């Protein structure tokens, strides 16, 4: 049986430490000098990332999630790829329904390319679990891996198309930041085209 985990079952436990583009990159794109707008632009970069992640259902830069599911399954399909690693799988037992027990890593394997977890049916019996909506808790890391070869670049492996879309969205928000602007905010077809290849269905 395949258990498809939805985004509603995910809780972000460790937020990303960076966005797909830096403040300096955004200011260069915007042709903005000085520091007066730094706080505003930084917030707009984050808003653009969140919009893109929601739109294409992918994690741009690495962060940690916890998935709460009702029980064990032969295969779990995880949302918001790319999957980087599985930190742990824990569960509540009928005898200790309030105490989490860590599942031995020999019981499962992760397919990072498919963003799936496979339970090893050939190993010992999967433990019994308590009856609760979060009986099994999967902690995972998702998002594009940083480059740690020198100074850590957390967005090194984010596709350039997504970085370009982020810059376009930030520019649109920056140019139309005043509620009294006479300009009409419209859809950005170039952003849609840049993101189309990365959208998860």
Query: Residue 179 has what pLDDT?
Result: 61
Domain boundaries, the chain: 1-201
Query: Residue 90 has what pLDDT?
Result: 96
The total of other beta-carbon atoms located within 10 Å of residue 13's CB is 12
Q: Which fold has domain 1-201?
A: Hypothetical protein yqbg (1.10.3230)
pTM for this entry: 0.88
Query: Residue 121 has what pLDDT?
Result: 64
Query: Residue 124 has what pLDDT?
Result: 59
Query: Residue 123 has what pLDDT?
Result: 54
Query: Residue 1 has what pLDDT?
Result: 80
pLDDT in tens, the chain (201 residues): 889 999 999 999 999 999 999 999 999 999 999 999 999 999 999 999 999 999 999 999 999 999 999 999 999 999 999 999 999 999 999 988 889 999 999 889 999 999 999 988 655 567 889 999 999 999 999 999 999 988 889 999 999 999 999 999 999 999 988 765 555 555 789 999 999 999 987
Cβ distance 154 to 16 under 8 Å?
Answer: yes
∠ CA(172), CA(41), CA(21), 5° rounding?
A: 85
Query: Residue 7 has what pLDDT?
Result: 95
């Amino acid at each position: 049986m395949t258990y498809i985990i939805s985004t509603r079952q995910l809780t972000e436990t460790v937020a990303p430490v960076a966005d797909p583009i830096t403040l300096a990159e955004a200011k260069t794109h915007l042709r903005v000098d000085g520091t007066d707008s730094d706080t505003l632009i930084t917030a707009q970069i984050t808003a653009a990332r969140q919009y893109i992640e929601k739109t294409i259902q992918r994690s741009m830069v690495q962060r940690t999630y916890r998935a709460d599911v009702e029980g064990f399954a032969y295969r779990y399909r995880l949302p918001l790829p790319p999957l980087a690693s599985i930190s742990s799988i824990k569960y509540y037992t009928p005898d200790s329904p309030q105490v989490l027990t860590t599942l031995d890593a020999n019981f499962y394997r992760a397919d990072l390319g498919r963003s799936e977890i496979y339970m090893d049916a050939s190993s010992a019996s999967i433990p019994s679990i308590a009856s609760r909506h979060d009986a099994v808790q999967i902690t995972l890391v998702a998002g594009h891996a940083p480059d740690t070869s020198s100074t850590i670049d957390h967005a090194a492996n984010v596709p350039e198309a997504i970085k370009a879309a982020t810059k376009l969205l930030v520019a649109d928000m920056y140019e139309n930041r005043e509620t009294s602007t006479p300009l009409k905010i419209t859809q950005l077809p170039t952003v849609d085209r840049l993101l189309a290849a990365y959208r998860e269905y």
